[in-house]
Amino acid sequence: MCKKHLPRSVSRRDILRYTLAGAGLAALGPLGRGLIPVASGAPIAAHRRLVSLFCYGGYDGLNLLVPTTNAAYYTRRPSIAVQPANALDIGEADYRLHPELDRIAALFGTGEACAFRLVGYPQANLSHFISQDIHSWGVRGDFSPLGIDESGWVARYADLHAPTPMGAAAIGVGRPLEFEGGMSNPFMAGSLAGFEFSDSSIGSSDHAHRMATLSSVLQSYSGDTLTTEAKNALDQGIQLSDQIQLAVSSYQDPMSGSPFSAAYPTSTPGRYLRDAAILIRGGFETRVFMTGFNGWDTHGSQGNETGTMANLIARMDDAVGTFVDDCKDMGVWNDTLLLISSEFGRRNFENGSTGTDHGHGNIFFAIGGNLSGTARLYGPDITEADVSGQNWLHYEVDYRDMFREAVANHLGGNGAAVFPEVQAINTFLGYV
């Protein structure tokens, strides 16, 4: 079973390790591999964190940040438009939020959330999978002129700034392309509660015995690239499972754990963001969290204030709102930035099945305790001509400016190294 999309000449399997050209980082040795993570139960680490929540399927940004005074929006979306009276006021004359974004709307009111309009990248690609890959790589064109091998942007960040096994974490999204390449070994979990070995029913002594044998086999193992990937993944599981379980049980402790342990919605984003909070409260040194959930490919029966997409929005909003409260309780909110994005926007008009087909330009969000800008909205205004005269929104803000500023100004990292490609459009946003 192979991924069908190999838009570049090299397959994922053969992705060479990202070369740390020149930098004195070679002194760190085999980055990440085998380093002992910060033990769970340590105090909450004092450093900045970035959480990327990716909405797979291409969400319809125009129904998230609704251009309530844009007549073309209502003309072209007779049944799926969100009506101004039902949308949430964020203090902007021409834009309101979808009614299910109530918790995020409140954060707009306190200067803890903002949105970016007309976000995209050069040469729109309307394939989910190519567009997702472009976002994962942080590179639109070829890697060869950049002098680096193919790698995801989180892998590049982790190599430079967070090379330990817990330095970057993917939760619930498998092993995303963001983590491919590079020399660090980010943490990937589907569910922290399930991140442990089952004992053999034959008897716990047998389990300990076979685990000891397995560990000794792994210690002496040396193989090719692929089997080494397998070995590293298993090593990581063995090394971390006890600490992860300690973090889970500490988080859930009714006396000393999180007061929000039971408050998260049981939806997919709720579970994933709760797991992120467990890692933070557990004292792990994770800098970048990558998570997301799908369902946003609303070709049919998209709904408006209610319906399919509204349900997805509600799930996202409840999960994010709870996570923000949890972070505030932990005292880490001023160190935390959450970015919400998706592979592309959708058509300006509804199709015959009251849904929307694939488009390009979109609206992204940033939520955090230390947003520096005073603006609630970044990027140009969405004009009537943008909506009426085009099939889909064009882009005027490269999504990488949003992420680069997060890496450079929020995380204090080398934004130019993580997003090295020369862009056709550069925008200084100054939101963080």
Partner 1 sequence: MHTPRSLRSRCAPIGALLVALLVVPACGGGGGGGGPEPSPGTPAYLSLAPKAALTDTDVRHFLQRTHFGFSQPHYDAIGQLGFGPYVDAMTTYADTTALETAARNAYLVDAQDPTGDFPSASDLARWWLYMALLNENPFQERMALHWHDHFATSTTVLDTANSHYFINHVTLWRHDGASNLRDLLITMALDSAMLVWLDGISNVDGAPNENFGREFLELFCLGVDVEYTQQDIVEAARAFTGFRQRFDAATQKNFIEFDPARHDHSAKTVLGVLIPAQTPGAGEVHEYDQMVDIVLGTNEAGTGVSRVGQWIIRSLLEGFCYEDPPQAVIDELANDLRAAAWDLKPVLMKLFQSEAFFSAEAQAGIVKGPIEHVVGFTRTTGLVGNPSEIDRRLQLMGNRLTQPPTVDGWPGGTQWLSAQGMLDRANLLNYLTEQSEGLQASLSITALQLLPAPDADSTATVDSLITRLRVTPSDAERTALITYLDTERDNGGVVTPDLFDPVGDPTEAENRVRGLLWILGQHPTYQLR
Q: Tell the smallest beta-carbon distance from residue 259 to partner 1 (Å).
A: 27
Residues between 110 and 169 that touch partner 1 (CB under 8 A): 125-130
Cβ–Cβ contacts within 10 Å for residue 380, how many? 12
DSSP-assigned letter for residue 39 = P
CA 52 to chain centroid, in Å, comes to 2
Choose the binding region for partner 1 from 45-53, 98-106, 206-214, 409-417 (rule: CB under 8 A): 206-214
CA atoms within 13 A on the CB side of 206: 6
Choose the binding region for partner 1 from 91-99, 315-323, 347-355, 406-414 (rule: CB under 8 A): 347-355
Question: Does the protein bind partner 1 through residue 196 (CB under 8 A)?
Answer: yes
Out of 18, 108, 157, 187, point to the residue binding partner 1 (CB under 8 A).
187
Question: Does the protein bind partner 1 through residue 214 (CB under 8 A)?
Answer: yes
Choose the binding region for partner 1 from 101-109, 137-145, 221-229, 252-260 (rule: CB under 8 A): 221-229
**Calpha distance 177→155 (Å, rounded):** 9
Residue that the structure tokens 């397995």 belong to: 214
**Calpha distance 348→361 (Å, rounded):** 10
Residues between 300 and 329 that touch partner 1 (CB under 8 A): 300-301
**Calpha distance 367→108 (Å, rounded):** 8
Identity of the residue, 227 or 426, whose beta carbon is nearer to partner 1 in the bound complex: 227
DSSP-assigned letter for residue 406 = I
Q: Where are the beta strands (DSSP E) in 91-134?
A: 95-97, 113-120
Question: Does the protein bind partner 1 through residue 249 (CB under 8 A)?
Answer: no
Question: Does the protein bind partner 1 through residue 17 (CB under 8 A)?
Answer: no
Out of 116, 153, 157, 195, point to the residue binding partner 1 (CB under 8 A).
195
Question: Does the protein bind partner 1 through residue 201 (CB under 8 A)?
Answer: yes
Out of 89, 92, 229, 242, point to the residue binding partner 1 (CB under 8 A).
229
Question: Does the protein bind partner 1 through residue 216 (CB under 8 A)?
Answer: yes
Binding mask 26-65 for partner 1 (x = CB under 8 A): ------------------------------x---------
Q: Tell the smallest beta-carbon distance from residue 174 to partner 1 (Å).
A: 5
Number of residues binding to partner 1, judged by CB under 8 A: 76
Longest dimension (CA), the chain: 71
Give burial (CB, 10 Å; 0-12/13-18/19+) of 257. middle
DSSP-assigned letter for residue 158 = H
Identify any residues that bridge with 337 across adjacent strands, giving them in sequence order: 50, 368
Question: Does the protein bind partner 1 through residue 432 (CB under 8 A)?
Answer: no
Is the distance from CB of 289 to CB of 50 less than 8 angstroms?
Answer: yes
Question: Does the protein bind partner 1 through residue 294 (CB under 8 A)?
Answer: yes
Identity of the residue, 199 or 253, whose beta carbon is nearer to partner 1 in the bound complex: 199
Identity of the residue, 79 or 83, whose beta carbon is nearer to partner 1 in the bound complex: 79
Residues between 349 and 388 that touch partner 1 (CB under 8 A): 351-353, 355, 357-358
Classify strands 377-378 and 168-171 as parallel, antiparallel or unpaired. Answer: unpaired
Question: Does the protein bind partner 1 through residue 71 (CB under 8 A)?
Answer: no
**Calpha distance 92→153 (Å, rounded):** 33
**Calpha distance 170→409 (Å, rounded):** 22
